[in-house]
Each structure stands twice: as C-alpha cells, then as structure tokens.
Structure 1
Amino acid sequence: MIRSDVSEKRNPATVSLNADLVVVGGGLSGTCCAITAARAGIRVILVTDRPVLGGNASSEVRLWVLGATSHMGNNNRWAREGGVLDELLVENMYRNPEGNPLIFDTVILEKVVQEPNITLLLNTAVHDLEKSDPDTISKVFAFCSQNSTSYELSAPLFCDASGDGIVGFLAGAAFRMGAESSDEFGEKFAPSQEYGELLGHSMYFYSKDTGKPVRFVPPSYAIDVTKEVPRFRRFTAKEQGCQLWWLEYGGRLDTVHDTEKIKWELWKVVYGVWDYIKNSGQFPEAETMTLEWVGTIPGKRESRRFEGDYMLIQQDIVEQRSHYDDVAYGGWSIDLHPADGVFSEKPGCNQWHSKGLYGIPYRSYYSRNIKNLFLAGRIISASHVAFGSARVMATSAYGGQAVGMAAVLCTQQGLLPRDFSSPEKITQLQQALQKRGQHIPGLQLHDPLDLVQEAQLTASSELVLTELTEDTEPRPMVYSVAQLLPVAAGRFPALIVHPYAAEATTLEVELRLSSRPENHTPDVVVATQSLALQPGRNCMKLEFDVTINEPTYAFLVFRKNEQVAFRYSNTRITGVLSVFNLVNAAVSNYGKQEPTEDIGVDAFEFWCPQRRPEGLNLALKLEEGLNAFGVENLRNGLQRPTSHPNAYVADLTDPKPGVTLRWNEKQRIRRIELAFDADFDHPMENVLMTHPESIMPFCVQRFQILDENGNVLAQEQANHQTLRTITFDKSITARQLTIQLEHPSATVPAALMEVRVYKEEGV
C-alpha cells in the first residue's frame, strides 16, 4: 500500500539516458535513420510521440509509402529506394501483400526492437531542450503520458525527424514556412510573390461491406458536402483510405499549432462524406456498407522547412542536377496542392514530373546554424516548390538513412555534421551508404577492401538474349508499346517481330534513346520505319542504320494501331521489360506531360510498365544476341539496372547455374555480401493495394556457397530479400568460392546483382 499526504508540488519520475545519437520522430525517416546508425555500431535513442512507428505510413494515418516509383506512373525505371527502406517494404510484401496497415506496423516495430543499439521510447513527446552554447544542443526533454515519466536525453548529435521540426524550432534553427517568390531562386513554378499558404492535412476512412443493410446517423458536426465541398461529386462508395488523399484542409492555417482545429474540420468532412454516400440515394451499393475506421490524427504534408548549407530548388529536380555530395535521390513529381484543399474550386493537386531521378545533396540534411543538428524527413532544406517532390515518405526515409550513416562517421571521427560536407569526407559517406544498398545516381561503389575486385570471376553460363518466345495469344494494341533492350556500343542489331493484322494496314515503328543515358524517358527518336502489314501473321525483319555510342537502353517503339496485335513472352529477365504509353491519372500522367505555360518543366511522353501479372515482354527474335548479363557485372559497383542491367544472369537452360570466385592465394574470409533482384521497379505500396506475389519473381530463393573442396559454407532455402550477408563465426580460409543459384522459376533465369567478400566482420 502507498499512502502520501504531502502537500508539496511533486515531479514525475525522471529518467536520464545517453547515446551517440538522439533521433526525434518515429516516422519512416527517423526509423530508417535509427536502424542505419544502430547497425553500423553507434548507440541510438529513437523517441516518438506516437504509440507506433511509421508516421504517415502507420496504422494511425494509413498513407502508402511512395517515392521515385510514383505508382509506376512515371519514367523512373528500377527507382524504388534501397537500403533499410527496401528491406522494410520487401519484408512487408512477403508477409502482407494484401496491404493490412496493422501488419506493416509490426514489420517496422520488429526491425527496430531487433537492434540492441536502439533504445525506443514510444508515446514520448519532446517539449524542451538544453544547449551547451548558442549553437549546440546538449539534451532534449521529453514526457511519456503512458508511464508518467520525464526523460532527459543527452547526446553529441541529434536528428530532427519529427515532421514539424520541434527540435530545430526549440533550438533556434533557421527555418521557413510558405512559398518563396520566383525571384529568390529563379523557380518558374514558384509564385511571383512569396506567400504563407501551405499544403494541408488529410484524414482518411476505411469502409467494409457487412452483407446486410446498415443505416448511418451522422454526428451533429458532419457537414453537408453537397453545399460546402465544391468537388463532392467525385466521391464514390469504393474509394477509401489514402485514395481519399484529396480530403485535405488547413493550408491557410498554422499547420503546426492549428493541427487540432484542422483535425476537427476534417472529421466534419469525413463524416459528411459518409453521410452523403449512405443517405443521398446516389450509392445503392453502399446500403450494406459501414465505416470500419476513421483516422484520429491527420496526415500532415507541410509545416516548417529548415535551412541547411544547400537548399534544394526546382531546377535541381527538373534538370536532374548532380551535386558532389549527393547522398540520396528523389523522383516523385513536383506535387503542390491548393491551400484550401477540399474546399477549393481548383484541382486537388498539380503534379509535374521530371524525366528521371535527381540527387539530393548532404548539405540539405543538417542545420546551417545549429552545429550538431541533422535534418530528416519533410523538413529538410528545400524550397517550397522542391519540397513538393522531396516531401514524400520514401524519399524522406532515404534521406534519413543518409543521416544515420553520417552520424556514425561523425561519431567515429569526432566530427560535426558540417565537417562531413567537404569533398574529401563526403566520399566516405557515399561509399558507406552504397555498401548498404543505398543507390546514388551517377555513382558506383569502389571498395578497395572488397576481395572480389582481385578475384578471377567465371560462371557456369551467361545469358545471351536471342529470343523472347511467343507464349500468349495475340493481344491487340490498346496502347503504343515499346520493348526496352539493353544494347552494347556498336551497330543496333537486326531483329524479327511477328505483328498480327486484322486487315491490311501500316504499322509505325521507332527506335528511341534517352537524351541522358541514365534516364528511361525515350525522348530521342533516332530512326523510324513504316511496316506494310497484310491480314494475319506477318514476319517482319527490322534493321536500323543506327550506331549506338555507349551501352544503354534502346526503346523499340510500335505506335498504337488498333488493327494490330502482338504475342508476348512469359519469360521475365532481370533488367528487361516492356513499357506502354499509358495513362495513370492518379499521378497526373495522361500519356504526355504538356505544360500550357512556361513553368520550368519539360514536355515529354510517359512510357510505363504494366503491373504484374500483366507487363509481359514483347515476343521477338534478335539476329545477334544481346550480351549484357555477364559475370563482370557483379563487381561494377551497381546493385540495380541503370543504363545497363548491371546483373549477372544465367542461361535459363543451365541446370545448375553458379558463379565462381578464384584467387591466386588462399584468402581469410569473414563476410560475404550478396545482392539479389527484388525488383526495384515495383513500387510495393504498403497499404490498400493487393500485390500479385509475396516474393518478387526475379529473386533467387535458394542458393549455396561452397569452397574449392565442395564444402558447403552457407546455404539458404527461402530467401526473399534484396541483400543477404553471410558472416562466419570465425574466418574461413579458401582459395575459391562458388555461389550456386537456383532459377526462381521455369520462366525466370537466376540473377545476381553484386557479390562482395571481406576479411573482417566490421569493415
């Protein structure tokens, strides 16, 4: 029994914790930052004011995680973000292809609690801080309402990934809110005069069909959307969750301090929408439906943006500028919304895409005036226009990983964030990130400690692509179609296609390239042909008098003709796919981007894959096979297709595919790192969308590693992840390693993106 009659003021229990890095904010950017740093060996405190991790991706908000892949609605091929974020999304696909947001919560939480270097504080809000000098944070103060405990969290380094920038704000870090004028940075999409309006918050709901009539009596605060919401006619009974992203409000208010007010307005809208769906008589299919879930906190888009040593701007995105200190990339459109949100007469968003990925420099990820403060998430140093692209969760998380690794290197070398921005230091950070699966456009990994660089590489077979077999019935050309082919420097190879014509007609063919080799926007037409087709099956040999200057992807384009059909191939190969001149209205893709005025963005066509189980390769034959899948790709420093497949691919007829590494002398080996193809072209939306498979079709699931005597050193029977690390308890000695692979299926040959071998575990 506890009894106290003291009338003096009491204080809650107080716990003091120390770490190398304190990360404030448990959204995906903070979570990926914390995991990255902890795995690299430093002590991390991850503190968040929410009961679960994931931020806008959590079950509290239920927004799908997207970034450069943009729902497969732009021209960014193989663009899904790597590293820890890739691991989370791939694991979620394996466990949760149905998109249950509660399961995604468990995936994120599991990855965090498995890390012994992370101290996780949920339901704990940072409210104050202490500084050792005007430019340096020494500790932050937080309170957990669930256990009535105050925390004092001390560290030499802090990362603000809180969304609203609570640490940066309290510390006096320079920040902005609202839009810059076009004059400040020369951004043509920026307004002529700066203003304070922002992107608003959104609130979602889920519904379900009960199989019996269900009535709905709206709460008194529900609004009449037919009178107050200009775009109410867009509502359907089928849309739910973040498909309702445009239920947005608050851009003219203070999106930090007015959040509770904004939340109430959104509740009024949500229940008004459901009242309309249930009771207007316009949706008879809703008679048996009921509300299953309504968000209790809004999903935030924009509030404070903090100033670093570099501010990302529109031209960085559209022109795909490279920076010496790029550590991450983006690829979502410049996606800005009207300040009045759902109450606006304007469209819900303006999305303008670039032709490919753009780099984000390290100098955007730390405060310019608080010496030991990193920035991660949507608060990084970017203009309002550039923020419209960089703000999305996958891009934010990718930057968080860069911050986590930067914190590790700063800790190891006793440096502050700005110290690592020098050209001499930044290479260390870039290389450390690339080792952990962080693709950085334009960069390749060069690791002198990797023993593979000294090895002789051989393979049991190497794919030479000579044919994509005819496996389907002829399919009419609903869209213009193009086959991406990885071609070497030299004369473009002749090939044979078999179009089927319903009547005599002409089929227009184009050979296209991208104006930038690393892009996949076919904006350069290098040759055209017109094929005269007769009714029925036609055998057409295509020869183009074209010389390719460097290895790249060529687009063999067949312009839409409704009288023509093609057969497709069930064979899927790493780094080879078909694309279509599709429309994807969800990301403002209407087949072609055509700005009506000079707003500083390009006009170009969209050529996008179809989602599986569609998206088969176009059946064709090549007179000279494409030899783009050799074993040397395993050590070229790239783990995904870029301007080339960058993969070793075995011949599908090889019954026992494998790669052998041989050295002149015996090597002491402690760690082997393998990179497989978990399909970086698939967006892996984590909620709402049901995916056709839980393991990517290109991913090798079974493999063995043997020494020169045939001893099995390691094996795996159920791999589904991109990166696999084999660490031996004690170093093994071998002159030769053989990695034996199994083909993923009868129609997909085994592929391996990278192999690295190290002497010591901690390298």
Structure 2
Amino acid sequence: MQKIRKQLAVIGGGPAGVCAAITAARHGVQTVLVTDRPVLGGNSSSEIRVWTRGATGAGNLWAEEMGVWGELKLENLFRNPDANPVFWDDILLDAVLKERNLELFLNTEIVSASTQKNGAVVCVYGIQQGSERQLEFEADFFIDATGDGTIGAKAGVPFSVGNGKHETLGNSILYYTKKEDHPVSFVAPDYAYDMAHIEKILGCGGRIVNEKMSGSDCWWFEYGGLCDTIADAQDIALELRRLVYGVWNYVKNSGKFDADHYTLDWIGAIPGKRESRRMQTEYCLTERDILSQRTFPDGAFYGGWYVDAHPSGGMYDSGEESCVQTPVNVYQIPLRCLYNRQVPNLLFAGRIIGVERSVFFSSRVMNTCALSGQAAGTLAAQCLQGGKTPEALTDAEVTAVRRTLARDDMFLPGAAIDDPDDLAKQASVSVSSVHAGHPGERSGRMSLKDGGFLAFPAVRGRRIQIEVFVERATTLRARCAVTKLPNRLNIGAETTERCWALQPGLRMLEAEITDENQFCLWSFEANPLVDLAVCERTRIGFLCGRTGEPEVYEPCAWYQNAALYGAEQLVSGENRPWGGANAWIAAPEDAEPWAALRWDTPVSAHEVRLCLDPDLTMELPSSRARHWEKSHLFAARQGMPAGLTKELTLTAELESGETVTLAALHNQHQRHVTVPLPQGVRIRALRAALRETWGGMPPAIYGICVY
C-alpha cells in the first residue's frame, strides 16, 4: 500500500473540492485532492454536464459568485467562449495542476477511514481504478467534499437524509441534441420504456418535451428520490436510461415533433445527484435565517439561489409541479455549518453542509458549493497555522479567516470587516477622471407591457429622473422598496406605491429619494402604453428589465450632480455593489484613464490587489448546450465583459524616486488581479493605467489594496 502524507486531504473533485484544494494550497498548505472520477467538476463535468448557477440566476443583481470560483469561470469565458463542457474539465485540471502545493489523484475511491479515540480522522484508504494501487492518505486535516458525506459518515458524524422519511430530490441524466442536414432515424434500445409509458408521464407538472430541448433543459428527467440515492445508485442510473431513451424515442418516432433531422449528440453515462446526506454541524442554517438575511460573527460565504423544491417522485410524480422556485435575497452562511466538533479535524464543503432541508433547496447549487469550498480551505489553513481545531478558534482568529476570504474576493453580504493591514487606506488617492453619473447615448426602448423592474442607488435628498416614452395619456404605477442588494424577482413585503400621470411623448418620471446606502428597487405594473428609455451601458448600479425575461439594460435614469463614482471608492473597503455601486468609474471620454495612490512617507509592501468589473449581474455558467428553454431565465454573455480592463499597466515610484513597471498585462481577463512587488522595496506611489476594456465601456475599479 502506498502512503501519501499531507497537511490536508480534500476528498471530492467537484466545485467544492476543487476550490477548497486550490485555496488551501495557495495559503501554503501541503494538500492532496482525491476524486473518484477521471475528470474534475462533479456534476458540472463533461460526464454529467449540469451548468453551474447561483445567486444571479435566481434574480439577484450584481451577485455573481467570484473568488477562486469566479477566477475559474472567467478563465473559462476567455478560453472557452462557447461554454463547451469538454473544455471546462481542462480549465479545472489546468488550475489544479498549476498549484505547487497540490497533488491530484483521479479515479480513486475512498473505501474506509481510520479514526482516533477523540474522533479525529487519522487516514483514509482508497483504491485507484486502472492502476490497481491501494492508497493510504494521512493528513492533519480532512475536507469532505464528496457530495455524499462519505468521510463524515465513516467517521461517525451524525447526518440527516431528505425529509426525515428518507425521501430526497432525485437524480437526472441529461442529453445533448444536434440538428443534422439530413434525416436521422432512431431505433430505441430494447430496455427503453415504450411510448405508452412515456406518454403517461409527459404533460404533468410542467414536464413539456420538444425536439430542441438539450442539456439542462432535461433537468426534469428526474428519478430516485424515493430510493436510497447512495446504495441504489446503479438501479437509479438504469431506470433513468430507460426513461430518457424512452423520451427520445417518443420525440423521434411518435410523429408529434419536427424531429426528423435531430439526433442525440451525447447522453450522460452517469446521473447527476441532487441530494443524499446533510451533516449535523455546530450550527444548522435555518429558513428563517436566510429569509431575514441574518448576519453571523462567522459568516464566511453566501447563497442566493431559489428555494428550489422538487417532488421526490420525480418523473413519476403526477400530482405536483416538477419544481417550485421561491426567490430569496443573498444570505450569509457561517463557518459553523462546515464542522462538527465530534470529529475535530474534519470539515465539510458542498451540498452536505449543515442546513435545514428547506435551505438545502437553495444552498445545494454548485456556485454556492464552490464558495463553501473556498471557505473550508481557508478555515483549514487557519487551523493548521495555529495548531487548533475549528471550534477552538478565538474571535480574532475567526475574524482573520473572514478577512482572508474577503481579501481573496469572497463576497460577505452585510459583513463589515476592517483590514488594518491594507496600506492603501493610508494613501491619498487621485484619478484621471470621474464618471459624472449621467446615462450614455440613448439606444432603444424597453416595453412595460408585461411590467418590469428598475434598480438604482439611493441618494438621499436628490431627485431621480427617468426617461419614458408614452404612447397616450395613462397612469403608471410601481411598487417601491429599498434593499442593500436587489433581487429583481423578490421585491419583498415592505413596499410603497408611486404613480405618475403621464401625457404622450418623451416624458420624465421624477421622484424624491429619502434613503441612502441602499438600492431602490421599483416593480412596475404592466402598462402597454409606456416604454422605459434605455442607453448604452457605461455605469454600475443602474439596471432595468422586463418581467419574465433574463436580459437587463441600463435605463436613462440619473441624478443631477450626485457623486456616485468618485476616487474615494477605491479605498472604501467594499469591492462590489452593496448598498451602492462602490466603484470608481472613469469618464467615458477619458482616453487614458488611471488611478493612483501616494503615501506621505514610503511604505514597505509585498503585493497589490485590484478588483475590476466583470459585470456581476450576468451569469458565468461552466457550460451550456446550443439550446436552452426560456424558463431558465438565462442570458448568455456575448464575449468578454464590456467593462473589464483588458490592458493594464501597474507602475510604482520607489523610495529612491525611480519609477518601475510592476506589471504590464495584455488580454487581462480576471476580476481579481494580484501583482507581487519586488522583495524588500519601499514605495512612495502606485499608478494603475487602464488602457483598454474588452467592450468599450469606461474602466471601473471596485478597490485597490496594498499589503
């Protein structure tokens, strides 16, 4: 038996495990990542092909998950703009193999674990398929990111399954379709269900089928919720293949679809699993917590997907909707959901963390799982550095974990975390120009015939002005709310009503704003006589959209003489929208924008970090099929983010007065940019020249930090 000794063993190669392993390795932890599959990515991999979604996909604006996961998604957008799932596998593999402190074992199933009398895990044992190697992984800390709580269960951590009756969400097998230039016949395998069986299933609970559906359109091909999703895995997979091939046979051969030229391009060999165990942890996040947006002293990451409930009967459940999705605003998840002191050196990441089942319906999605992995990796690094178990960490050490997460671009909604080591706060700030806050060139209209939303930052004591086109005299009404971060699908219960009597022509909606450090969210009643004027996008913080459609636009809305995007935003401590835009934006006419920091006396520093603008209100899925149904409310990005800086030069003025170039980045495509400084230097000033963005929008910086 081969023994592998590391400080940290991460078991599971899905989004949570990948992010946990990369994070810990970057913080100096000798780490091993072990997965039972030949590729990384879990449900998002090319084996299963579920696209990654999260808070933004459920209506939350400026809420796209970043950090390590965001880095991987932006790399995927740059290298793989068509979101091919095959290339996504290699984005993850490339990132893992780059980390010098990280060793990878693929195709390795963990079969047992050894523990001490105090409950701590000593080692886990695995077998690597193909190599016939028996492996022993010994570590000081372990992270269970298996999706099934495999290590936790073997180590004796209590857990829950499903709704208490062992009824869970089901598994799904997806397929990809392709349209050929010639007719393609299909003869179903003998094991597939016949058309009569399939016809009984279709048409219930929103289970509508057509010849174009592909990829995650097939989410409702669901079965296994009334089985044991671990022990009955093979039976579930075979039943799903019978069902899925039966559906495709029905599409091809029932005569009810224009499917002659369509064929299956791919079908999943293994199902994607939604649910099995949920581990009991030091704290169990409740539905009340997420609906009230409760903050925690150890809040470490966030969720924001719908509370997305599916019937356990899956395709065989004819009495319920296939899913019921309740939108929620972004909410904090604390570190205490990642461990149970009964096993002091074991952390959890992914869908198995400690939450109520109603919360699990939201927290289970892969973007949230990935963030939990980064939180677990950071927590493990802190514990190993101090030689402590997680429950023994002091308040100051928990704050250090959160501070590290924030530095590494983790969004902690509602958390105010001071960073005394950030030297940028001691500097004076100057910029080449400041966006005046006015809208860009008018570019079109957005009809309110089905209603719509408008979101903008609140500026107390100022009047917001919004251009509208009015066909004939009418009254326009809106429900209005304020929130730190708006969800276009969830205006909330605390609203006021505004109405405007409008005459025909180009008119102006005006309203006195009495709030500050919030976003205003207006939900317009349907009115076919009114269109919002929309403009070319040049700002952060102003958005509008139609009811029932995923696309967003920038409204022709503005304040007179309101300072929204000043230089002070560079060192505000906020690095994304929360209660306001929190970004410096250069003036659109500025041909050579720059931002600079200068200290009264030279400072010693080792790195500079910049947070740029990747358009946080559009999703960055791991993959997508050629076709997706409108019901997903998904809008694909058309190229790289228009406001993301593409050409960036960072220079420093040294103590000697010499100016040196620290970095000249070409085709720069990341939001979170870290530039190391030469060892032992003292600097008087820094200057970031943002020479070009990817889409012609003026460049924006959410923050500059210097350490």
Alignment pair present for 1:211 and 2:211: no
Cα separation, partners in 2 of 1:650 and 1:642, compared to 1, 3 Å: same
Alignment pair present for 1:235 and 2:202: no
Conserved 8 A contact 2:642-2:695: no
The 1-side partners of 2:443 and 2:385 are apart by: 56
Cα separation, partners in 2 of 1:34 and 1:114, compared to 1, 3 Å: same
Match runs of 1:122-141 below 5 Å: 122-141=106-125
Deviation at 1:155, TM superposition (A): 0.6
Deviation at 1:724, TM superposition (A): 0.8
Deviation at 1:231, TM superposition (A): 3.5
Q: Who is 1:578 aligned against?
A: 544
Q: Secondary structure, in 3 states, of the residue corresponding to 1:51? A: coil
Conserved 8 A contact 2:34-2:106: yes
Q: Who is 2:97 aligned against?
A: 113
Choose from 486, 489, 505 the match for 2:473: 505
The 1-side partners of 2:695 and 2:380 are apart by: 45
Cα separation, partners in 2 of 1:255 and 1:496, compared to 1, 3 Å: closer
Q: Counterpart of 2:236 in structure 1: which amino acid?
A: I
Match runs of 1:182-201 below 5 Å: 194-201=164-171
Q: Who is 1:588 aligned against?
A: none
Alignment pair present for 1:459 and 2:431: yes
Q: Who is 2:250 aligned against?
A: 276
Conserved 8 A contact 1:444-1:636: no
Deviation at 1:556, TM superposition (A): 5.5
1:309-358 CA-to-partner distances (Å, cap 9, x unmatched) read 11122212222222221111111111121111111103454434344111
The 2-side partners of 1:409 and 1:229 are apart by: 56
Q: Who is 1:315 aligned against?
A: 288
1:271-308 CA-to-partner distances (Å, cap 9, x unmatched) read 1111111111111x321222221111110011111111
Cα separation, partners in 2 of 1:412 and 1:255, compared to 1, 3 Å: same
Q: Who is 1:245 aligned against?
A: 219
The 2-side partners of 1:382 and 1:746 are apart by: 41
The 2-side partners of 1:571 and 1:295 are apart by: 40
The 1-side partners of 2:122 and 2:80 are apart by: 41
Alignment pair present for 1:636 and 2:606: no
% same residue: 32
Choose from 25, 32, 55 the match for 1:38: 25
The 2-side partners of 1:38 and 1:19 are apart by: 11
Cα separation, partners in 2 of 1:469 and 1:269, compared to 1, 3 Å: same
Q: Who is 2:142 aligned against?
A: 158
Q: Which segment is superposed worse, 254-263 or 725-734?
A: 725-734
Choose from 715, 722, 729 the match for 2:664: 715
Q: Secondary structure, in 3 states, of the residue corresponding to 1:30? A: helix
Cα separation, partners in 2 of 1:164 and 1:555, compared to 1, 3 Å: closer
Cα separation, partners in 2 of 1:637 and 1:230, compared to 1, 3 Å: farther
1:119-163 CA-to-partner distances (Å, cap 9, x unmatched) read 100000000111222511100000012111010100111111111
Q: Counterpart of 1:699 in structure 2: which amino acid?
A: L
Choose from 685, 690, 704 the match for 1:741: 690
The 1-side partners of 2:432 and 2:109 are apart by: 57
Aligned residue pairs: how many?
687
Choose from 364, 381, 397 the match for 1:391: 364
1:347-385 CA-to-partner distances (Å, cap 9, x unmatched) read 454434344111111111012421111111111112222
Choose from 647, 650, 657 the match for 1:705: 650
Alignment pair present for 1:560 and 2:532: no
Q: Counterpart of 2:502 in structure 1: which amino acid?
A: A
Choose from 301, 306, 310 the match for 2:274: 301
Q: Which runs of 5+ in 1 are unaligned?
A: 1-13, 180-193, 585-609, 759-763
Cα separation, partners in 2 of 1:113 and 1:730, compared to 1, 3 Å: same
Q: Who is 2:554 aligned against?
A: 617
Alignment pair present for 1:477 and 2:448: yes
The 1-side partners of 2:598 and 2:451 are apart by: 47
TM-score, reference length from structure 2: 0.93
Deviation at 1:567, TM superposition (A): 3.3
The 1-side partners of 2:529 and 2:366 are apart by: 43
Q: Which segment is superposed worse, 438-447 or 19-28?
A: 438-447
Q: Who is 1:9 aligned against?
A: none
The 2-side partners of 1:218 and 1:155 are apart by: 49
Deviation at 1:558, TM superposition (A): 4.9
Q: Who is 1:186 aligned against?
A: none
Q: Who is 2:630 aligned against?
A: none
Deviation at 1:222, TM superposition (A): 0.3
Q: Counterpart of 1:669 in structure 2: which amino acid?
A: A
Q: Secondary structure, in 3 states, of the residue corresponding to 1:235? A: coil
Deviation at 1:517, TM superposition (A): 3.1
Cα separation, partners in 2 of 1:385 and 1:745, compared to 1, 3 Å: closer
The 1-side partners of 2:497 and 2:462 are apart by: 11
Match runs of 1:330-729 below 5 Å: 330-420=303-393, 422-472=394-444, 474-488=445-459, 490-495=460-465, 497-501=467-471, 504-510=472-478, 512-514=480-482, 516-520=483-487, 521-523=490-492, 524-526=494-496, 528-534=498-504, 537-540=505-508, 542-548=509-515, 550-555=516-521, 558-580=524-546, 582-583=547-548, 610-611=550-551, 615-620=552-557, 622=559, 624-688=560-624, 691-708=636-653, 710-729=659-678
Q: Which segment is superposed worse, 555-564 or 154-163?
A: 555-564
In terms of Rg, which structure is larger? 1
TM-score, reference length from structure 1: 0.86
1:368-411 CA-to-partner distances (Å, cap 9, x unmatched) read 42111111111111222221111111111111110000010111
1:626-657 CA-to-partner distances (Å, cap 9, x unmatched) read 31111111222221111111111111122221
Q: Secondary structure, in 3 states, of the residue corresponding to 1:397? A: helix
The 2-side partners of 1:92 and 1:724 are apart by: 16
Q: Secondary structure, in 3 states, of the residue corresponding to 1:20? A: strand
Q: Secondary structure, in 3 states, of the residue corresponding to 2:463? A: coil
Cα separation, partners in 2 of 1:156 and 1:745, compared to 1, 3 Å: closer
Q: Who is 1:58 aligned against?
A: 45
The 2-side partners of 1:48 and 1:362 are apart by: 24
The 1-side partners of 2:556 and 2:46 are apart by: 43
Q: Counterpart of 2:409 in structure 1: which amino acid?
A: G
Conserved 8 A contact 1:26-1:55: yes
Cα separation, partners in 2 of 1:471 and 1:208, compared to 1, 3 Å: closer
Deviation at 1:225, TM superposition (A): 4.6
Cα separation, partners in 2 of 1:91 and 1:746, compared to 1, 3 Å: closer
Cα separation, partners in 2 of 1:149 and 1:23, compared to 1, 3 Å: same
The 2-side partners of 1:81 and 1:733 are apart by: 35
The 2-side partners of 1:557 and 1:129 are apart by: 54
The 1-side partners of 2:491 and 2:647 are apart by: 36
Q: Which segment is superposed worse, 102-111 or 80-89?
A: 80-89
Q: Who is 1:20 aligned against?
A: 7
Conserved 8 A contact 1:647-1:752: yes
Cα RMSD of the aligned pairs, angstroms, is: 2.1
Deviation at 1:746, TM superposition (A): 7.7
Conserved 8 A contact 1:142-1:151: yes
Q: Who is 2:72 aligned against?
A: 88
The 2-side partners of 1:99 and 1:425 are apart by: 39
The 1-side partners of 2:604 and 2:151 are apart by: 46
The 2-side partners of 1:322 and 1:469 are apart by: 40
The 1-side partners of 2:143 and 2:30 are apart by: 13
The 2-side partners of 1:225 and 1:310 are apart by: 48
Q: Secondary structure, in 3 states, of the residue corresponding to 1:565? A: strand
Cα separation, partners in 2 of 1:273 and 1:53, compared to 1, 3 Å: same
Deviation at 1:112, TM superposition (A): 0.3
